[in-house]
């Protein structure tokens, strides 16, 4: 097959773009010598969490559209592949520490009414039930926009859907078609080397997976910790942010995460730890996604910078990259360009 598009990197950015391009009729080859999900997308957390509905900007608006698009996007992947990507919009609860936090949350309720276009709500309600974090005010914020995805199930479903439609995923690619580099933290290093300046770097994070089934329960966000119940009867706890190391070893910091999770939801003390995992979040210098032509390399493009919200942004980024590479239309939001980092 002579491809219309070559994508290096079988993480969430590479595979969502391959899927979007396949749906637009392109013949796609994805190449990854390390295999599907070998980078940070092969992790365990999968929170699809929105930005707070205030101080609106292009990044927040883009993320909102991407989160809203996720339901139809993943439903189509599931229908084509016959596999469950583990997506659901199960919502999220966050405790409110004091009166100031309650006032701010109530102001954001109004923000959500206009900024979230009636598609989801952000409301203050009483903290109640066993799956609810303790809250000093007795109140929590509940939003109905937050979702979750099972990272590995999602990648497997995407790969199966792409193959079902005739796309090819393997270790190598030919070199005679427009080429997108969706190569995560390694790609940021490659691009930095090629341009002679640092455009971004990998930021280490560790997370835990527990054998605790609460598949319909909302996600909890407590003291900076994500507690994410998944479709397959597991619950993820994430994550650390470590700026000084890029080794992928897990360590005692995960015991600290677990202790904080148990303090928030005591029943998690009974759950067995199934996995301890570390990965590198690809963070562009701007902290926003980094999209567009590879400077000085005609026919080559970059899709990178997913950082902490790559899964939430992926459907939107796939659309923008397909517009650019397949149709020559530049729909990249302000602040998301490769040149914003050079
Ligand atoms: C601890 C932790 C928790 C996280 N939690 C969340 C979360 O809750 N929600 C969320 O949305 N995001 C989360 N993220 C971030 C998310 O995982 C990333 O934003 C996302 O996975 C980035 O996807 P990617 O496809 O750009 O990169 P990657 O998944 O890293 O994929 C890059 C791929 O490129 C391949 N590759 C490298 N070099 C080459 C080459 N030369 N040729 C071909 N292929 C190559 C690699 O093998 C890899 O498969 C988390 C990350 C971490 C580390």
> Which residues lie below 8 Å from residue 180, measured CB to CB, with a gap of 6+?
5, 6, 7, 8, 14, 17, 300, 301, 302, 303, 321, 325
Q: Would strands 122-126 and 225-229 be described as parallel, antiparallel, or unpaired?
A: unpaired
For a mutational test of ligand 1's pocket, the pick from 6, 10, 16, 40, i.e. the residue with the most ligand atoms closer than 8 A to its C-beta, is: 40
CA of 279 to the centre of ligand 1 (A): 8
CA of 298 to the centre of ligand 1 (A): 25
Residues 27-74: tens digit of each pLDDT: 999 999 999 999 999 999 999 999 999 999 988 999 999 999 999 999
Domain count, the chain: 1
For a mutational test of ligand 1's pocket, the pick from 310, 320, 336, i.e. the residue with the most ligand atoms closer than 8 A to its C-beta, is: 310
pLDDT of residue 120 exceeding 90: yes
For a mutational test of ligand 1's pocket, the pick from 31, 45, 220, 221, i.e. the residue with the most ligand atoms closer than 8 A to its C-beta, is: 45
| CA dist., res. 48 & res. 63, Å (int) | 10
| CA dist., res. 158 & res. 149, Å (int) | 12
- Confidence bin at 183 (pLDDT 50/70/90): very high
CA of 132 to the centre of ligand 1 (A): 30
Nearest one of 286, 303, 311 to 42, comparing CA atoms = 311
CA of 29 to the centre of ligand 1 (A): 19
Q: Give the DSSP H/E element, type plus range, for residue 200.
A: strand 200-210
Q: Quick check: is 41 in a domain?
A: yes
**For the CA of 31, the nearest atom of ligand 1:** 43
Average pLDDT, integer, range 105-131: 95
Asked if 228 contacts 46 with a C-beta cutoff of 8 angstroms, the reply is yes
| CA dist., res. 1 & res. 57, Å (int) | 42
Q: DSSP strand E in 1-156: where?
A: 5-8, 28-31, 47-48, 92-95, 122-126, 139-143, 147-148
Q: Quick check: is 156 in a domain?
A: yes
* Confidence (pLDDT) at 288: 95
> Which residues lie below 8 Å from residue 323, measured CB to CB, with a gap of 6+?
329, 330, 331
Average pLDDT, integer, range 80-103: 98
Q: Quick check: is 327 in a domain?
A: yes
- CATH code (residue 10): 3.50.50.60
* Confidence (pLDDT) at 244: 85
Average pLDDT, integer, range 153-175: 95
Asked if 154 contacts 232 with a C-beta cutoff of 8 angstroms, the reply is no
Q: Quick check: is 272 in a domain?
A: no
| CA dist., res. 118 & res. 287, Å (int) | 28
Q: Quick check: is 307 in a domain?
A: yes
| CA dist., res. 238 & res. 242, Å (int) | 13
Q: Quick check: is 169 in a domain?
A: yes
Q: Quick check: is 109 in a domain?
A: no
Confirm or reject: Cβ of 10 under 6 Å from ligand 1: yes
* Confidence (pLDDT) at 68: 96
Q: Would strands 92-95 and 200-210 be described as parallel, antiparallel, or unpaired?
A: unpaired
Q: Quick check: is 244 in a domain?
A: no
* Confidence (pLDDT) at 124: 98
Specify the residue with its C-alpha closest to ligand 1, atom 50.
308
- Confidence bin at 184 (pLDDT 50/70/90): very high
Domain that holds residue 160: 5-86+147-200+285-341
Query: Between residues 138 and 176, which one has the greater pLDDT?
Result: 138
Nearest one of 144, 12, 117 to 56, comparing CA atoms = 117
| CA dist., res. 218 & res. 142, Å (int) | 9
* Confidence (pLDDT) at 174: 81
Asked if 136 contacts 128 with a C-beta cutoff of 8 angstroms, the reply is no
């Amino acid at each position: 097959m002579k491809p219309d598009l070559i994508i290096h990197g079988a993480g969430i950015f590479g595979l969502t773009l391959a899927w979007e391009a396949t749906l637009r009729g392109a013949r796609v080859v994805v190449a990854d010598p390390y295999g599907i999900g070998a980078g940070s997308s092969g992790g365990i957390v999968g929170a699809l969490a929105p930005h707070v509905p205030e101080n609106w900007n292009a990044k927040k608006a883009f993320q909102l559209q991407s989160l809203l698009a996720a339901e139809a996007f993943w439903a189509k992947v599931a229908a084509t592949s016959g596999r469950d990507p583990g997506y659901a919009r199960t919502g999220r609860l966050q405790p409110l520490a004091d009166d100031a936090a309650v006032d701010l949350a109530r102001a954001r309720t109004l923000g959500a009414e206009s900024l979230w276009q009636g598609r989801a709500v952000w409301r203050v309600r009483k903290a109640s039930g066993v799956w609810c974090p303790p809250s000093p005010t007795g109140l929590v914020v509940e939003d109905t926009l937050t979702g979750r995805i099972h990272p590995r199930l999602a990648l497997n479903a995407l790969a199966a859907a792409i193959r079902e439609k005739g796309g090819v995923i393997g270790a190598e690619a030919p070199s005679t078609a427009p080429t997108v580099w969706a190569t995560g933290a390694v790609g940021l290093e490659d691009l930095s080397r090629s341009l002679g300046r640092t455009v971004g770097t990998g930021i280490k994070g560790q997370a835990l997976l527990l054998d605790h089934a609460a598949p319909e329960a909302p996600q909890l966000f407590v003291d900076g910790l994500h507690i994410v119940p998944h479709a397959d009867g597991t619950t993820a706890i994430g994550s650390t942010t470590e700026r000084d190391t890029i080794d992928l070893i897990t360590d005692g910091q995960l015991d600290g995460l677990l202790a904080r999770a148990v303090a928030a939801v005591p029943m998690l003390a009974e759950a067995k730890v199934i996995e301890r995992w570390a990965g590198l979040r690809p963070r562009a210098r701007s902290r926003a996604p980094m999209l567009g032509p590879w400077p000085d390399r005609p026919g080559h493009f970059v899709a990178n910078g997913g950082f902490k919200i790559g899964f939430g942004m992926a459907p939107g980024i796939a659309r923008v990259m397909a517009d650019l590479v397949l149709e020559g239309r530049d729909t990249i939001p302000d602040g998301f360009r490769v040149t914003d980092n050079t």
